[in-house]
Structure 1
Amino acid sequence: MPRIHRSKKMAMAAATIAGAALLLAGCSGDGDTGSTGGDGGSTGGDAKETITLTYTSILPESGPANQAFKVWMDEVTALTDGQVQFDAFYDAALCAAADALECIEDGRADLAFDTPAYSPELVSPNIASIGFQTYDHAAVGAAINELVATDDTIANEYAERNQKILFFGAQSPAVIGFVEGTDLTSVNDMDGKQVRAASQIGTALSLLGVSPVSMAPGEVYESIERGVIQGVVQSIDVYVDLSLAEVAPMIYSLDDAGAYAVVNFGMNLDKYESLPDDVKEAIDAASAKMIDEGVYAQYQNDSIGHACTSLKEQGATIQGLGLDADGKAWATAATERLVADWKTQAEGKIADPDAFADTYFGLVQKNVTGDAKTIAQICDES
């Protein structure tokens, strides 16, 4: 198990709200709550010197993303017979969301949870930030990992930022929540509403007349409470973490938008290259196992069911929205807009943007199993 750190600010907040995920806090690491050893020194005798790697995440330790990455860390430790240990910083205790890319690049952290959506300058991985393909999040995660394995474009772009990709994952499809009394029967009913929505989904919602507002997730609760915004787009597990059902209990699954948020776990490239060959082999093997066994998707699936139960216990309603004529029209218009925007950004940076995009979208469809359910369907069964 890794040594754990959380920021004092986030630890205090956790006493009143359950894990304020994605809070854009500044860098402020302390709060050691336990140790497994692995202090970077010699273990004595003929044992190999302990290697301690630092991991940073903006998310709470208990969230599905970090629980999945613990599987990876434990696998590396096991494959190296305990030689590699980890020092884990959660709740933005070391680096804020906006700094995650730079945090790995400059070596403040050896490993990090990040999402391409926070770094729009990274063109190639943000092809996977375009939704409206499927609500099968496992298919999206499998597609981006397969693209990395068969095309060097994404790996090379990260390498330019001194980062080695370990593996990608896809978040569960987002939900959109509104204040009490917001009854929707069509996606067009969102016209005129101010909603906290980030990156590409904000652009897509603007086509419906929604005014997307950018703000840190930790600011959303109060902004809804004060009437600054009427709704929020968020993954369902983070919706629970931020206690948003208290102020926005009318929840709808955006079924046409589907899965559009991918995350990546990366490592400082210089640090990776400096490691002994057997340790690098262990890291690569652990990453391959995460991909081959779909570990990230499994944790996402588990979190959806738990979140559904928790939200219903709080009195929230979760309904489907879309998958009708209005939803399909929105999906068509949004896909055209988002793909066109991405290709414009990719000009001069990717050799053939059209082919790259077609390959990714083809991989998504290849990995769709037909067994996936919408968030509303899962909640109905929970």
Structure 2
Amino acid sequence: MDKQNNKRGISRRRFLKDVVLGGATVGAGLTMMPGVRPANAAKKGVYTLKYDCYIGATAEPAQLDNWFLDEIVKRSDGRIQIKKFWSGALHKVGQHLPAIRDGLSEISLISYGYYPSAVPLSRGLEWYYRGCNHADSLLHVCRDIYDDTPELRREWEDRNNAKVLYFTNWSYCPFIMKEPLPNIEALKGKKVRGYGIGADTVNRLGGQGMPIVAGEVYTSLERGILDGAFAFAFITAEKMKLHEQAPYIVESGAGAHAPTTVVMNRNIWRSLPDDLKEVVSKTVEDIYNWRYLELYSELTKESVDKMVAAGAKFSTWTDEEIKKATNIVQPAQYKNWIEKIATPNNFDGVAFQAKVDALIKKYEPGKLMNPWETYKQKYM
């Protein structure tokens, strides 16, 4: 089939878009619920949307998204229906944002590190040791800076044909090590998995950042390829049982981890009637107001308990060591973004980061305890 289509000048991607998936048109999205005849489906306005995700359903952002998706189905009285594709079942890592742009998917979770050329300005929200020490604070910082920055909105909406539904993140990323890590000096020369700006952070602290995909981290620890992991979400690490190979969970003061954005194809968003847009918007408000904090608190406590039961050892760097790490990483890290990304894109990165600082001060301290704080509260 593919060869025949190519001979006719039709690419496989175009064929899937136009014939199989049909996600870019309202006609394809306006489909039948079980037991509803075609004429009634059009009359009732039932929208079947694909949620397309590169991570598994047990990861913390995925669990939040799952709640959101189920809620909009329920609150819309079934007029919105969702088909969920987890773990790259529909598109692979690095393909999800183009799929949203081209209408091959309707809703997706986007992690910026996989799309450096597509969302360069948004990557100005990726940093560690910045004083944003609570993940719920980062949630609100990202929302407010987006609302206040036209260039960010154009980056998502015009450049990528994506309607931002809400911001989320991967909560916290303590060092997860095979051996104790009492201080920065102990990190020297250690091979540590790092995602995106996380690898840069490891390198600045004297380690060797290793860009190994999440699914291969366990075996890499097992085989000695890695000495540990950073920029790997704590809750997801527990679900993937990394502590079996790396039982030392070390809080280093890095702060909130890895902002992400949940988006919808902009054409689909515009096609929704106002009452369904209101359903989506009200559900998003609940994420910011209470659901994120509630869910991530529950998941953090659960993961701490399971790791403790399995023999993991929790510790933290001293305040002096955390301050030393902070001075090594910042402001050098975000100034590098200003110089190499913001300025070449004719974007005032200095003013942007000043807004970020102001918002961090506004929303800190947040309420979501990190793994060490959770452990300390229950076990010390």
TM-score for both structures, normalised by structure 2: 0.83
**Map of 1:295 onto structure 2:** 291
Q: Hey, what's the Cα distance between the residues in 2 that align with 1:205 and 1:229?
A: 13
Q: Hey, what's the Cα distance between the residues in 2 that align with 1:268 and 1:253?
A: 38
Q: Hey, what's the Cα distance between the residues in 1 that align with 2:128 and 2:235?
A: 19
| Partner SS, residue 98 of structure 1 | coil
Q: 1:282 offset after TM fit, Å? A: 2.7
In structure 2, what residue type is equivalent to 1:295? R
Q: Hey, what's the Cα distance between the residues in 2 that align with 1:46 and 1:226?
A: 56
Superposition map of 1:116-195 within 5 A: 116-121=112-117, 122-132=119-129, 133-159=131-157, 160-179=159-178, 182-195=179-192
Name the stretch that deviates more: 261-270 or 93-102.
Answer: 93-102
The reply on whether 1:54 has 2:50 as its aligned counterpart is yes
Q: Hey, what's the Cα distance between the residues in 2 that align with 1:244 and 1:273?
A: 42
Q: 1:372 offset after TM fit, Å? A: 4.9
- The ranges of structure 1 where at least 4 consecutive aligned residues each deviate by more than 6 angstroms after the TM superposition are none
CA deviation vs aligned residue, 1:255-292 (integer Å, no higher than 9, x gap): 2x11131111101112212233333333233323322x
Q: 1:353 offset after TM fit, Å? A: 1.2
Q: Hey, what's the Cα distance between the residues in 1 that align with 2:330 and 2:89?
A: 36
**Map of 2:239 onto structure 1:** 241
CA deviation vs aligned residue, 1:67-88 (integer Å, no higher than 9, x gap): 3223322332344332111111
Q: Hey, what's the Cα distance between the residues in 2 that align with 1:118 and 1:45?
A: 37
Q: Hey, what's the Cα distance between the residues in 1 that align with 2:76 and 2:84?
A: 18
| Partner SS, residue 347 of structure 1 | helix
Q: Hey, what's the Cα distance between the residues in 2 that align with 1:287 and 1:152?
A: 21
In percent, how many aligned pairs have the same letter? 21
Match of 1:209 among 206, 210, 217: 206
| Partner SS, residue 108 of structure 2 | strand
**Map of 1:7 onto structure 2:** none
**Map of 1:87 onto structure 2:** 83
| Contact 2:177–2:247 (Cα < 8 Å) also in 1 | yes
1:39–1:281 Cα change, 3 Å: farther
The reply on whether 1:106 has 2:102 as its aligned counterpart is yes
Q: Hey, what's the Cα distance between the residues in 2 that align with 1:305 and 1:262?
A: 21
1:375–1:323 Cα change, 3 Å: farther
**Map of 1:267 onto structure 2:** 264
| Contact 1:138–1:294 (Cα < 8 Å) also in 2 | no
| Partner SS, residue 51 of structure 2 | strand
Q: 1:46 offset after TM fit, Å? A: 9.3
TM-score for both structures, normalised by structure 1: 0.83
| Contact 1:185–1:321 (Cα < 8 Å) also in 2 | yes
Q: Hey, what's the Cα distance between the residues in 2 that align with 1:373 and 1:287?
A: 22
Greater fraction of residues in helix: 2
Q: Hey, what's the Cα distance between the residues in 2 that align with 1:208 and 1:45?
A: 58
Unaligned stretches of 5+ residues in structure 2: 1-31
Q: Hey, what's the Cα distance between the residues in 2 that align with 1:38 and 1:285?
A: 26
The reply on whether 1:320 has 2:316 as its aligned counterpart is yes
Name the stretch that deviates more: 150-159 or 311-320.
Answer: 150-159
Number of paired residues?
342
Q: Hey, what's the Cα distance between the residues in 2 that align with 1:317 and 1:265?
A: 34
1:67–1:45 Cα change, 3 Å: closer
